[in-house]
């Protein structure tokens, strides 16, 4: 079993920054991929960024240059630094972990960008 818990969401003004954290517990493989997805109101779930165990990353085009994903393999944590936020980034952000063909999800954390 794998459990994921996100933290760090909240209300931020346009142009501001937030750092999301996700702690994974349970049977975690060192080769697990971890990432962040989001779902805005009325929209589908979409990939924001993910990171492999070796450190390779990929980002949604809309967040490149503003968001940075990182992970701590020893603590089984993944982070998402979000800068220059705008209203289009308002969504529930979900932490994801993939291993052995299974996907695990956290409960999500709300990010609201508004003045």
CB-count exposure of residue 82 (10 Å: 0-12, 13-18, 19+): buried
CA dihedral 97, 99, 60, 38 (to 10 degrees): -30
CA dihedral 71, 3, 81, 16 (to 10 degrees): -170
pLDDT in tens, the chain (115 residues): 899 999 999 999 999 999 999 999 998 888 889 999 999 999 999 999 999 988 899 999 999 999 999 999 999 999 999 999 999 999 999 999 999 889 999 999 999 999 9
């Amino acid at each position: 079993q794998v459990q994921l818990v996100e933290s760090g969401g909240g209300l931020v003004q346009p142009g501001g920054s937030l750092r999301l954290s996700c702690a994974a517990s349970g049977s975690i493989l060192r080769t697990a991929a971890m990432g962040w997805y989001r779902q805005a109101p009325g929209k589908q779930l979409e990939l924001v960024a993910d990171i492999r165990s070796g450190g390779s990353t990929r980002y949604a085009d809309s967040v490149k240059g503003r968001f940075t994903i990182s992970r701590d393999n020893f603590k089984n944590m993944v982070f998402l630094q979000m800068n220059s936020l705008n209203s289009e980034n308002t969504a529930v952000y979900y932490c994801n972990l993939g291993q052995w063909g299974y996907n695990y999800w956290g409960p999500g954390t709300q990010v609201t960008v508004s003045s």
